[in-house]
Amino acid sequence: MTAFFDSNVLLYSAGSDVDKAERSDALLAGGGWISVQVLNEIASVSQRKMQHGWARTRALLDAVTQLVEVVDLTQAIHRRGLAVAERFRLSVYDGLIVAAALETGCDLLYSEDMHHGLVVDGRLRIENPFRA
């Protein structure tokens, strides 16, 4: 299985919840994909919510990009993301993440806040890795 990661799953690696950090780290050890949008979200949360400085934010982004592949956002992914968001009643940003996961050929999308168990286009399953 090829995994795609939502930013919320990755951010637990740098957070204070030990159980979620360990689970996130274990998933990341298997590699996978993210999009540039996920990098942007990580940078924003690192700066705004975690109150990290720029050096620590850059270090976090560097650590993530050493573990996963990054797909650029394209106009085609954008269009597909809007269609996915409309069809499955997702936010625009979640739709873009789903579209990027589909573009990379992933079968699994780890996200804490999307619809757990949803299968998109018969091949991409959304899973909350922290669900009991």
Using CB atoms within 10 A of its CB, is residue 26 exposed (0-12), middle (13-18) or buried (19+)? Answer: exposed
Low-confidence residues in the chain, pLDDT < 50: none
3-127 belongs to CATH 3.40.50.1010: yes
pLDDT for the residue 17: 83
Q: Which two tokens stand for residue 5?
A: 């990661």
Q: What is the pTM of this model?
A: 0.93
- What's the CA gap between 126 and 118, in Å, rounded? 5
pLDDT for the residue 132: 76
* Phi (first) and psi of residue 74, to 5 degrees: -120, 170
Residue ranges covered by each domain of the chain = 3-127
pLDDT for the residue 72: 96
pLDDT for the residue 16: 76
pLDDT for the residue 15: 74
Question: What are the DSSP E strand ranges found in the chain?
Answer: 3-5, 33-35, 69-71, 108-110, 119-120, 124-127
pLDDT for the residue 94: 96
pLDDT in tens, 79-96: 999 999 999 999 999 999
